[in-house]
Amino acid sequence: MRLIGYCRVSDKEQAVTGFSIEAQQENITEWCEAEKHHLVRIFVEPGRSGSKPSRQTRPTFEHTINLILAGAADGLVVKWMDRFARNVEDFLRVRSYFYQAGKQLISISEPLLNGDPSDPVARYISVAIMNAYQLQAELTGVKSAQGRERRARQGEYPGILPLGYKRLDREITIDPDYGPMIISGFREFAQGCYTLDSWVEESHRRGHLTPGGKPFSKSFWHRIFRNRFYVGYFTWTGEEYLGNYEPLIDRDIFDRVQEILDSHSTGTSARKQFWLLSGLLWSDVYATLMTGNLAKGQYAYYRAISPGQSEHTVRADEIEERVIAQLSHITWDGENPYMLPEHWRLAFRVAENMRQIFESLETEQQRRELLRLIFFQRGIRVAASGRVVEVSLRPGFKIKENNHAMGRA
């Protein structure tokens, strides 16, 4: 038979002995020689997962299948069938195509999977084995997600790093090529001499290029200037954490840049576009997040919606004032395990309550940051009337004892 080989390895499997592309190629070549088959060629696809549908994630795999169906070979050979796929959908789809076209699908290490698809027993065995591969892949995915979330809670960012940082032996370090450029960009923009458009022009004049070799666009610089990662915070699965890496930008400079960007906003005023309680309000009516909205560009409110139901709304100024009032009843016990910047810890030690700190802050961004340190995401439950019925505080914060006013502010 004329066969085409296929080898795949994910990024994590690359380091596992016996899983490498080279090992798979060697096994396929030796097997074809021993079985007197003609090996037309071998396609390789490194760094690709087999657990997701191949049409979305594996172009080389799809190209290989199409070549075989077009007559380039009599079948496909793999070292293990989990190199071919780790989901039942791809296995059954391609096997059906091959069966109708008279093509062979061969696993060197699992001859039970090479049976006649029309035989009920062979079909049952092959599907059972592929289900086991899919289960293993899904469990691995769950464990990986849990591991990434655990690292995030410890301040280790598990995602793709923004421009200006790189990983060195799993440690996040400042990129010597792009880090200084971003630092300079923040500092110069914070002086107030540029609009975003004029800064983009200046960036082009200086010859700044992305890693892909293209000039920085306006949207690219906007994302950089708005990214809190550069001041030491990152968001993972909806939660914001303090990172254990070195911030590129001083907080005062970052806040100044935010104020400049807000002041250049067109349309409604920056104040009406700033939502102090963004991400914190939870509708007790529809059990969903409440988001900020503007009616006719003037009336600012938070709302939650449910299909076929009237909106749950509350005026922005009213609910914000209620939450601020509740800060008078919230204190810090000085034993907070939640990671905090040192300047916040110092303020918490000397303040009688959180409202005292809130009113001393100069910018809206600082005030919103304080609220996100105190309350969990979606941690402020709002009744239909707009009353705060319950709050969820992060570890280390507490409500003054014998206070019955909470939820009625």
pTM (predicted TM-score): 0.44
CATH architecture entry for 154-264: Alpha-Beta Complex (3.90)
DSSP state of 262: H
Residue 14 clears pLDDT 80, i.e. is over it: no
Q: What are phi and psi of 293, to 5 degrees?
A: -145, 160
Q: How many Cβ atoms are within 10 Å of 388's Cβ, its own excluded?
A: 21
Residues 6+ apart with CB under 8 A from 206: none
pLDDT in tens, 306-348: 777 888 999 999 999 999 999 999 998 766 545 566 678 788 8
Of 247-261, 288-302, 348-362, least confident by mean pLDDT is: 288-302
What is the predicted pLDDT for the residue at 409?
Answer: 40
What is the predicted pLDDT for the residue at 273?
Answer: 58
pLDDT in tens, 140-173: 767 777 777 888 888 889 888 999 999 988 899 9
* Structural class in CATH, domain 2-144: alpha beta
Of 99-108, 186-195, 291-300, 322-331, least confident by mean pLDDT is: 291-300
Q: Where are the domains of the chain?
A: 2-144, 154-264, 272-399
Q: SS3 breakdown of the chain: % helix, strand, coil, rounded to 5?
A: 45, 20, 35
For residue 393, count CB atoms less than 10 angstroms from its CB and return exposed for 0-12, middle for 13-18, buried for 19 or more.
middle
Decide if 358 contacts 320 (C-beta within 8 A).
no
What is the predicted pLDDT for the residue at 13?
Answer: 54
Helix (H, G, I), strand (E, B), or coil: what is residue 242?
A: strand
